[in-house]
Structure 1
Amino acid sequence: MAEFLNVALTFPTLPYSIVLAFAMVYWLLAACGVVDDGIGGDGLDLDVSDGGLHGVSGMFSRLGLGGAPVMLVIALLAFFGWTATYFVHLFLLQPLPDSLRWLAGSATALLALVPAVPITAVLLRPIRRLLLRLRPVPQTSLLGRVGVIASPQVTTQTGYATVDDGGAGLILQVRLREEGDALPRGERVVLLDYLPEHNHYLVAREHGHPALSFQDSLIAGDKEIHR
């Protein structure tokens, strides 16, 4: 144990130990909900308004490290870099004199990233696909879609509806946009607005909504013209 700590907490393994420890603390905080874990977000997004990190983001993408939370990428790079550096330090660098060990250690710390990058890129492929499946559908992209009420009724206080997304379908919390008679199960409704603070959509009866009725009349008129 003493030898492990001596290698892990001395150069050249020490920088990777610090980064790996920081990543572990970060993920513990993420598991407790203190910080954002990046899951379901936009993945590796290092672009900032002043353009300072555009080059880093582009480099990571070219190396196959894009499309995943940045802290996950850093944690994997740090782990594989630490593993390579640790064993080189343990078996090859310890017997060297201090001056030569610092020079060889610096080269080892840099070269450890050479195998770490492709290994991380390979591991990120299935993780990236999983994150894409977990990523929520952008709420604004559903506005204007037609759903079918699946609850016994929809009022201004309660209800849910299903929306065909081309797959298994979505079940969404919905509320009537305006006070009125409750809509029964099976009624077709249109999604008019999304309230993120309440996590539900405001809906109206499909055929009773003025904009939709006007659109339906235009479609019907167009069909009459082409007959």
Structure 2
Amino acid sequence: MDFLNTIFTFPTVVFTTLLLIVIGFWLIALLGFADIDMLEGDVEIEADGGGDSIMQMGFGGVPLTISISLVVLLSWIASFYAHQLFAYALGDGVMFYVLGGAMMLGCFVVSIPLTAMLVRPLRRFFDSKETASKNDFIGLECVIATSKVNPYFGQAKVQFQGTEQLIEVRSEEEGMFSLGDTGLLIEHDVAKNSYLIVEKPW
């Protein structure tokens, strides 16, 4: 009961809720209804917009869903033990939420470098698979999934080993492709994690 009371009391309850969402996601992924790389496109769009990518925190090399899951898990563990040790210092009323919020923020900040350390040894398990799949896409046809493709934006669907994957694509000329058009993948840009496409020569 003491354990349940802690995890479902502020501030730990915030991380408990996030952890339940993470567990739900991985259960769905295990059933095959979600892709662990589903957030990679969002990060790429953010990077194209000039914003700081979450990869700069040291999370690169593994799927973003794994990094986020580890951040939530470590934040929850840190919050649980901090809550147990310092619950007496949170006080009452407004101060309870002020100090609780500060504790929650501190746990989150601590979890980020710890996650970066944990994902480092995991990168070798994803690098070879990622490189192989990206190289295998070269020469395949793709179907444009966005209203336009230009040097800075575009997505397309490609059939690979019996599955349909959504990838980032770019075109050197604007207006060449629109929704539903077919293109040919000719080059992969590692820095932007996108493919250069051209019109099919046949």
Task: Please list the CA deviations of residues 36-66 of structure 1 after superposition, one character each: whole Å capped at 9, or x if unmatched.
Answer: 122xx895851338967x63xx342221112
Which of 52, 74, 84 is the equivalent residue of 1:80? 74
Q: Give yes or no for the alignment of 1:141 onto 2:138.
A: yes
Q: Note closer, same or farther for the CA distance 1:198–1:78 as it changes in structure 2 (3 Å cut).
A: closer
Q: What does 1:50-129 correspond to in 2, within 5 Å?
A: 55=51, 58-94=52-88, 96-99=90-93, 100-129=95-124
Task: Please list the CA deviations of residues 162-187 of structure 1 after superposition, one character each: whole Å capped at 9, or x if unmatched.
Answer: xxxxxxxxxxxxxxxxxxxxxxxxxx
Q: Note closer, same or farther for the CA distance 1:17–1:141 as it changes in structure 2 (3 Å cut).
A: same
TM (norm. structure 1) is 0.54
CA RMSD of aligned residues (A): 3.0
Which structure 1 segments of 5+ residues have no match? Answer: 144-193, 200-227
SS at match of 1:46: helix
Question: Which residue in the other structure is 2:192 paired with?
Answer: none
Higher RCO (Cα < 8 Å, 6 or more apart):
2
The number of aligned residues is 143
Equivalent AA in structure 1 for residue 73 of structure 2? F
C-alpha contact 2:39 2:65 (8 A) present in aligned 1: no
C-alpha contact 2:62 2:119 (8 A) present in aligned 1: yes
TM (norm. structure 2) is 0.60
Q: Aligned partners of 1:195, 1:27: CA distance in 2, in Å?
A: 24
Equivalent AA in structure 2 for residue 129 of structure 1? R
Q: Give yes or no for the alignment of 1:46 onto 2:40.
A: no
Q: Using the TM superposition, give the Cα deviation of residue 101 of structure 1 relative to its aligned residue in structure 2, in angstroms.
A: 2.1
Instruction: Select the structure of larger CA radius of gyration.
Output: 1
Task: Please list the CA deviations of residues 127-167 of structure 1 after superposition, one character each: whole Å capped at 9, or x if unmatched.
Answer: 12211122233324368xxxxxxxxxxxxxxxxxxxxxxxx
SS at match of 2:45: coil
Question: Which residue in the other structure is 1:6 paired with?
Answer: 5
Q: Aligned partners of 2:121, 2:64: CA distance in 1, in Å?
A: 16
